[in-house]
A and B are shown apart, each in its own frame.
Chain A
């Protein structure tokens, strides 16, 4: 279970959230600029809140009152951003192996193979990042984040460069993998279809504040109606 209380002032933007994510998958839904990515950066340990406390499975990761912040690489937390940020001088396999320094070379190679297969990128192992399409790079970045077997997976619109079918297929495989490995996942999106596809608990974020939290059909009822109305209008026109 992930519990967090975060207060952070970044320029004119104020983020203030206090929540518990109990389910295996939680979607943080909100418009651009709502503070979704900032929450993920703070949960990953890349950014320290002005005031806050983050607890994952009873381990305190951040506690500003105690001046305690576990550094990013020690949290067993993975972050997959919209921009894949692959290391340009390393091929796909070496990118995936980057977080596996503690394993011997044979175990590394095996894990890299497994992860590339999971994301459907086994044929890309020897390719350099500049030879990959946006979607391929996102698959490799996802494999790289999963390889160290994190206990918390933070996904910041990680499928934005994939088409709908590929995105749904990858999401489905990823949900199965996180369930098998008991990894808690938090997916950030401003696309309601992602939130419904994940079938997860949804936290609705607006202007740095948490407005609602619950099942997607309840929290995103308005978004669901808007999508259905748009589809109805499209069918009537055609």
Chain B
């Protein structure tokens, strides 16, 4: 009834996407909060763009960009030996871009809520940007980081438009649970569709519980 191959692929995609999102979101958010350049406002707007762009539009642009029609896509294909479009790696790239605002916004909020006096104290004591982030911002905003990870993970688990546009429906490579659910509904197999939907719902509930319980176990506050 449940497509376990699609389930495993969805979890793999969401895990890879979440890990990459955190690696990008922490330094990017630190730059947005601590930086003083006039280019930061446009940069922040750019990170929010996927939030307002229809997923199918984003998926279409990525399909064109990462396919063999553009020099960028051809260069990537030359390096990897295959185009990024219609591949798992392509889905990861698309998911990272699509879920970026869901990871960056909580981290920016967490970093912004840290008292400026603490940041000043660390700077006077000799902390450079990297130490400031790892020794102060990350530990003090750990609950925001957890929220960013869970939101990024859930958003990837549930994404449909980008996946369908960029990855198509290739079993074991790009067929995720959302695609399976769509296929099941399209073929009027409502019993299987309900199982898949319940599984997606259960994943969401577990992940959301992790945010709230994780925050309490770690001592609450923004932290």
Interfacial residues, chain A to chain B (CB-CB below 8 A): 41, 44-46, 71-74, 77-79, 81, 83, 85, 87-89, 98-99, 101, 141, 144-145, 148
Chain A residues in 8 Å Cβ range of B118 = 85, 87-88
CB distance from B198 to the nearest CB of A (A): 40
Chain A residues in 8 Å Cβ range of B124 = 44-46, 72-73, 77-79, 145
Chain A residues in 8 Å Cβ range of B120 = 41, 46, 72, 79, 81, 85
Chain A residues in 8 Å Cβ range of B135 = 98
Q: Can you name 7 A-B residue pairings with CB atoms under 8 Å?
A: A72-B124, A73-B124, A79-B120, A79-B121, A81-B121, A87-B118, A89-B139
The residues in B between 118 and 177 inclusive whose CB is less than 8 angstroms from any CB of A are 118, 120-128, 131, 135-136, 139-140
Chain B residues in 8 Å Cβ range of A101 = 126, 131
Chain A residues in 8 Å Cβ range of B213 = none
CB distance from B110 to the nearest CB of A (A): 14
CB distance from B41 to the nearest CB of A (A): 21
Say yes or no: A73-B125 contact (C-beta < 8 A), given A89-B139, A101-B131.
yes
A101 to B223, CA, bound (A): 24
Q: Is the interface of A mostly helix, strand, loop or mixed?
A: mixed
Chain B residues in 8 Å Cβ range of A85 = 115, 117-118, 120-121
Say yes or no: A73-B126 contact (C-beta < 8 A), given A87-B136, A89-B140, A89-B223.
yes
CB distance A98 to B125 under 8 Å?
A: yes
Chain A residues in 8 Å Cβ range of B127 = 73, 98
CB distance from B34 to the nearest CB of A (A): 13
Q: Considering only CB atoms, which chain A residue lies closest to B128 in the complex? A: A73
CB distance from B138 to the nearest CB of A (A): 10
Chain B residues in 8 Å Cβ range of A45 = 124
CB distance from B37 to the nearest CB of A (A): 15
CB distance B123 to A73 under 8 Å?
A: yes
Say yes or no: A148-B125 contact (C-beta < 8 A), given A85-B120, A101-B131.
yes
Chain A residues in 8 Å Cβ range of B131 = 101
A141 to B31, CA, bound (A): 27
CB distance from B174 to the nearest CB of A (A): 42
How many A-B Cβ pairs are below 8 Å? 56
A144 to B117, CA, bound (A): 14
A46 to B119, CA, bound (A): 10
Say yes or no: A72-B123 contact (C-beta < 8 A), given A85-B117, A85-B118, A101-B131.
yes
Q: Considering only CB atoms, which chain A residue lies closest to B115 in the complex? A: A85
Chain A residues in 8 Å Cβ range of B123 = 46, 71-73
CB distance A83 to B117 under 8 Å?
A: yes
CB distance from A152 to the nearest CB of B (A): 11
Chain B residues in 8 Å Cβ range of A73 = 123-128
CB distance from A86 to the nearest CB of B (A): 8
CB distance from A193 to the nearest CB of B (A): 26
Chain A residues in 8 Å Cβ range of B140 = 88-89
Chain A residues in 8 Å Cβ range of B223 = 88-89
Q: Considering only CB atoms, which chain B residue lies closest to A141 in the complex? A: B121
Interface centre among B120, B124, B136 (most CB of A within 10 A): B124
CB distance A144 to B125 under 8 Å?
A: yes
Q: A46-B120, A71-B123, A73-B128 are in contact. List 13 more A-B contacts (CB 8 A).
A: A45-B124, A72-B123, A73-B126, A74-B126, A77-B124, A79-B121, A85-B115, A85-B117, A85-B118, A89-B140, A89-B223, A98-B135, A144-B121
CB distance from A107 to the nearest CB of B (A): 15
A33 to B118, CA, bound (A): 22
> Top 5 A-B pairs ranked by shortest CB distance?
A73-B126, A99-B125, A85-B117, A85-B121, A72-B123
A46 to B128, CA, bound (A): 13
Chain B residues in 8 Å Cβ range of A78 = 124
CB distance A81 to B126 under 8 Å?
A: no
Chain A residues in 8 Å Cβ range of B139 = 89
Bitwise interface map of B from 15 to 52 toward A, beta carbon under 8 Å scored 1, else 0: 00000000000000000000000000000000000000
Q: Considering only CB atoms, which chain A residue lies closest to B125 in the complex? A: A99
